[in-house]
């Protein structure tokens, strides 16, 4: 089977400000047609990384390629291939939505039909509305439209849902999925774990300027200390040594009468067997898969302790 070339390739990317590394050897690839997430806390180096991809910053070292092109030296070609929604961007307050769409369309040789984009993104009834009068969710819809108006092969969405209420955030997630389904590759920057878990095909977890882990959301969760959480209240106390000895147990915690274990599916089966053997009834039994939050905390703690010269 012939291997396709990734649409975006970042290799050993490094960028420092005043001698302090912001991005310290980041490498990843983005395949055509996927939603690739860059996940990390504020200040991790996420935005600097994608600004190098967009050609807005020049790397100190390393290489960045978009469809084989250098975003700095081949800037004009890359801007036609790559749409961008910046982390912090505002339009002139009095500009109408229609005027913004027409203006951006005029910047490209073969723009998308801005009217069709407005309809697709639910902006038709806001075309005569000034930017300052739009809600947060409507501004984000307009940001997506402006990022797509050049008919790009890929789009960078940086912290797109920050500041939105839960309903607007979920509406925006659906729009992002629709963008991918239309054939546009998405590079999504976020610090929302639920957002990354819901949307991304693969994720690079960036911590302190370095890639701590890279995998699918499910793969990252499986790599966490305990991919399954089991809580219950036993009808009578269990010997802690019996719980610790269960297969693939990561942690055992007692809070009052409640017992909480983290482990795997094998741990769940072993708990049920132990309860039957001991003739103990489990009240309020819950078995919950770990989330990306759990995986992120485990992975960044491991990365921090394994990184030479960094405080643990």
- Token duo for residue 272: 């049920």
- Token duo for residue 307: 């990184």
Measure the CA–CA gap between 123 and 134, rounded to whole angstroms. Answer: 10
Which CATH code is given to the segment(s) 8-221? 3.40.50.300
Mean residue pLDDT across the chain? 88
| Nearest one of 150, 42, 131 to 89, comparing CA atoms | 131
289 has a pLDDT exceeding 70: yes
Strand, helix or coil at 232?
Answer: strand
- What region does 269 belong to: left with phi over 0, alpha with psi -120 to 50, or beta? alpha
DSSP state of 88: S
**Average confidence (pLDDT) over 148-161:** 91
- Domain spans in the chain, listed from the N-terminal domain onward: 8-221, 225-289
For 91-150, the pLDDT digits (tens) are 999 999 999 999 999 999 889 999 999 998 889 999 999 999 998 888 888 988 999 999
- Token duo for residue 221: 């969760």
Options 1.10.287, 3.30.70, 2.60.40, 1.20.1260; CATH for 225-289 is 3.30.70
DSSP state of 108: S
| Nearest one of 220, 234, 225 to 271, comparing CA atoms | 234
Residues in the chain: 312
156 has a pLDDT exceeding 80: yes
Which residues lie below 8 Å from residue 222, measured CB to CB, with a gap of 6+?
Answer: none
Are 8-221 and 225-289 the same fold in CATH?
A: no
Confidence tier at 303 by pLDDT (50, 70, 90): low
| Nearest one of 148, 79, 144, 156 to 112, comparing CA atoms | 148
Residue with tokens 């693939």: 248
- Whether 136 contacts 106, CB under 8 Å: no
pLDDT value at position 103?
95
| Nearest one of 229, 176, 203, 231 to 296, comparing CA atoms | 203
β-bridge mates for residue 61, sequence order: 14
For 225-258, the pLDDT digits (tens) are 557 889 999 999 999 999 999 998 888 999 999 9
| Nearest one of 279, 281, 290, 220 to 251, comparing CA atoms | 290
DSSP state of 132: G
Q: What is the DSSP string of 270-301?
A: HHHHHHHHTT--EEEEEEEE--HHHHHHHHHH
The packing angle between helices 136-148 and 166-181, to 10°, is: 10
Among 11-20, 98-107, 196-205, 257-266, which is the least confidently predicted range? 257-266
**Average confidence (pLDDT) over 57-74:** 96
Measure the CA–CA gap between 290 and 227, rounded to whole angstroms. Answer: 5
Neighbours of 249 (CB within 10 A): 19
């Amino acid at each position: 089977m012939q291997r396709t070339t990734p649409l975006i390739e970042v290799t050993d990317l490094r960028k420092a400000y005043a001698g302090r590394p912001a991005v310290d050897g980041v490498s990843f690839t983005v395949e055509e047609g996927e939603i690739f997430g860059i996940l990390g806390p504020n200040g991790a180096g996420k935005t600097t990384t994608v600004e190098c991809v967009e050609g807005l910053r020049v790397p100190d070292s390393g290489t960045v390629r978009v469809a084989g092109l250098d975003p700095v030296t081949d800037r004009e070609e890359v801007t036609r291939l790559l749409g961008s929604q910046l982390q912090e961007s505002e339009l002139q307050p009095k500009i109408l939505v229609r005027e913004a769409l027409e203006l951006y369309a005029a910047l490209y040789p073969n723009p998308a039909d801005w009217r069709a984009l407005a309809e697709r993104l639910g902006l038709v009834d806001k075309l005569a509305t000034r930017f300052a009068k739009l809600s947060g969710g409507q501004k984000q819809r307009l940001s997506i439209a402006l990022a797509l108006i050049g008919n790009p092969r890929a789009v960078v969405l940086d912290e797109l849902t920050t500041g939105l209420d839960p309903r607007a955030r979920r509406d925006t997630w659906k729009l992002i999925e629709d963008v991918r389904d239309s054939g546009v590759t998405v590079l999504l920057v976020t610090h929302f774990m639920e957002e990354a878990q819901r949307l991304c095909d693969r994720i690079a977890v960036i911590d302190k300027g370095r890639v701590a882990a890279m995998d699918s959301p499910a793969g990252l969760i499986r790599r966490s200390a305990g991919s399954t959480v089991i809580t219950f209240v036993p009808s009578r106390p269990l010997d802690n040594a019996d719980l610790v000895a269960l297969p693939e147990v990561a942690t055992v915690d007692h809070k009052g009468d409640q017992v909480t274990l983290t482990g795997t599916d094998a741990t769940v089966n072993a708990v049920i067997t132990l309860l039957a053997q001991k003739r103990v009834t489990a009240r309020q039994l819950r078995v919950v898969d770990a989330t990306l939050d759990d995986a992120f905390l485990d992975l960044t703690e491991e990365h921090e302790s394994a990184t030479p010269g960094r405080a643990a």
